[in-house]
Amino acid sequence: MRTGTRPVTVLVEVLAGILFFALIILSVLLHECGHFIPAKIFGVKVTEFFAGFGPKMWSVERGETEYGFKWIPLGGYVRLVGMYPAEVHHRHANKLTKLADEARAAEAEEITDADRGRLFSDKPVWQRLIIMSGGILTNLLLAFLLFWGVFGIYGRPAETTTVAAVTPCVQMARTQECSSDDPPAPAARAGLQPGDRIVSFNGEQVESWSQLQELIRDNGDGGVRLEVERDGHLVALKPTRTILNEMPDINNPGRSVKVGYLGFSPTMVIVHSGPGDTVSQMWVMSQQSLSALARLPVLTWNVASDMVTGKTRDVNSPMSIVGASRVAGDIAGNGQLTFGDKVASGTSLLGGLNLFLFWFNVVPLPPMDGGHIAGAIYEACKRRIFRLAGKPDPGPADTAMMLPVAWVIGVLMLAMGLILVVADVVSPVKIF
């Protein structure tokens, strides 16, 4: 590297990281706009619109709403007045109902007579559903537009059913070279060659790489009959058997699973795709996001353990927005990537973050948006059942009863967020 090049690279990485961080904050603000705009349209009183949590960094008041930024950039919120129904009567009093009543009383202190009819809980269920789903749908729309832009303009790498290379031996997951003790791979035994296009697997016509990959993995150690197109002719290869081998899990690449193994790599091409393919790819990524979300506490614990013990950080481990910004900086500073590569990678990273935020907020537990959506749906269903049964209206669902759940999840989210921020500073993910 030439003298003076490294400082320039560092500057590029820092500036790119800051830009990406700003784009994340913009995504957060757009998410909150998804709540704020329909709330205003439906006449709900909104007193705060903030990006971040904790002490105020900067704010300004416009009308009845205070807009601003707070020092802990781990999300954002809009404060809708009257989130809890004002009048709820419980048959039996206990600690939980007392806690709910106290929360309701605290909220009532800022409610005036002029606010009646403008409270969130006063609005019909369909309006509350639109308000609470607006944020997560904004994240989903942003993810779709970002991925569609990348796939349509830059393209995306896609595997085909044409063979690029045949592995001469059975390799364990993530190994690179064969040894004399490794047995021949099933593909090599069958006579598969580079350039062959696999057209059928055990008599089933093969249309795509994803289909073929699933057929191979699900075959375990069963028999295989392959038919390929070679030099314009259909060729039936020698029967062989797939074997069970440890390979990366498709939905969780950081984890290995035992699946059927054939032993070849597919040819890669660049595909320029439209909205339909974008939706299909987002569903594949969503399965990976849901897998990571279900294991997020465990994955965060693993990150903390690896950081304490000095173990190298798993490239597939979860990151905070600090870590995502560092990765964006690393991409921008990589001299082997073209400008188009960098823009496409950074845009895809931002799209993936918005897609994860969508699924994260869909979780039907408070304080996530999905928790409020679940409460509104529960209320609508309960009222409908009572109406059909000829019973009196049971009244609004007391969402304040879920406060202990919201507190536990809130503390867990804060702890995981702090762990990931520290890990992203001390032991960041290295993609190069």
Alpha-carbon gap, residue 85 to 96, rounded angstroms: 16
Looking at per-residue pLDDT, the higher value among 258 and 397 belongs to: 258
What SS3 class is residue 378? helix
Looking at per-residue pLDDT, the higher value among 315 and 87 belongs to: 315
Torsion (CA) 217, 222, 227, 229 in degrees, nearest 10: 30
Q: Give residue 276's pLDDT.
A: 94
Mean pLDDT of 59-76: 90
Give the angle 294-300-304 at the CA atoms, nearest 5°: 165
Contact 230, 242 (CB under 8 A): no
Looking at per-residue pLDDT, the higher value among 152 and 399 belongs to: 152
Reported confidence tier of residue 172, pLDDT bands at 50, 70, 90: low
Spacing of C-alpha 410 from chain mean position: 19
Contact 110, 83 (CB under 8 A): no
The residue among 315, 293, 332 whose CA lies nearest residue 18 is: 332
The full length of the chain comes to 432
Spacing of C-alpha 265 from chain mean position: 28
Q: Give residue 33's pLDDT.
A: 96
In this model, does residue 357 exceed pLDDT 90?
yes
Which backbone phi and psi does 264 adopt, to 5 degrees?
-155, 165
In this model, does residue 174 exceed pLDDT 90?
no
Reported confidence tier of residue 296, pLDDT bands at 50, 70, 90: very high
350: how many CB neighbours lie within 10 A of its CB? 22
In this model, does residue 169 exceed pLDDT 90?
no
What SS3 class is residue 399? helix
Mean pLDDT of 30-43: 96
Tokens of 151: 């796939």
C-alpha atoms less than 13 angstroms from C-alpha of 152 in its C-beta half-sphere? 11
Q: Give residue 182's pLDDT.
A: 75
- Radius of gyration, alpha carbons of the chain: 27
In this model, does residue 351 exceed pLDDT 80?
yes
Reported confidence tier of residue 307, pLDDT bands at 50, 70, 90: very high
Catalytic pick from 32, 159, 177, 379? 32
DSSP state of 173: T
Reported confidence tier of residue 5, pLDDT bands at 50, 70, 90: low
In this model, does residue 3 exceed pLDDT 60?
no
Contact 416, 300 (CB under 8 A): yes
Q: Give residue 262's pLDDT.
A: 94
In this model, does residue 14 exceed pLDDT 70?
yes
pLDDT averaged over every residue in the chain: 90
Q: Give residue 92's pLDDT.
A: 73
In this model, does residue 175 exceed pLDDT 70?
no
Give the angle 19-337-344 at the CA atoms, nearest 5°: 55
Least confident of 105-114, 132-141, 157-166: 105-114
DSSP state of 338: -
In this model, does residue 277 exceed pLDDT 80?
yes
Reported confidence tier of residue 6, pLDDT bands at 50, 70, 90: low
Mean pLDDT of 115-131: 93
Mean pLDDT of 384-394: 90
The amino acid occupying position 136 is I
All domains of the chain in start order, with CATH = 136-155+274-431 (no CATH), 157-271 (2.30.42.10)
Which backbone phi and psi does 53 adopt, to 5 degrees?
-135, 170
Looking at per-residue pLDDT, the higher value among 148 and 107 belongs to: 148
DSSP state of 154: I
The amino acid occupying position 404 is P
Q: Give residue 176's pLDDT.
A: 57
Reported confidence tier of residue 171, pLDDT bands at 50, 70, 90: low
pLDDT, one tens digit per residue, over 194-238 is 999 999 999 999 999 999 999 999 999 999 999 999 999 999 999
pLDDT, one tens digit per residue, over 228-273 is 999 999 999 999 999 998 888 887 777 788 999 999 999 999 999 8
Contacts of 283 (CB under 8 A, 6+ apart): none
Looking at per-residue pLDDT, the higher value among 2 and 162 belongs to: 162
DSSP state of 66: E
Which backbone phi and psi does 33 adopt, to 5 degrees?
-60, -30
Mean pLDDT of 318-334: 93
Asked if 32 is an active-site residue, the reply is: yes
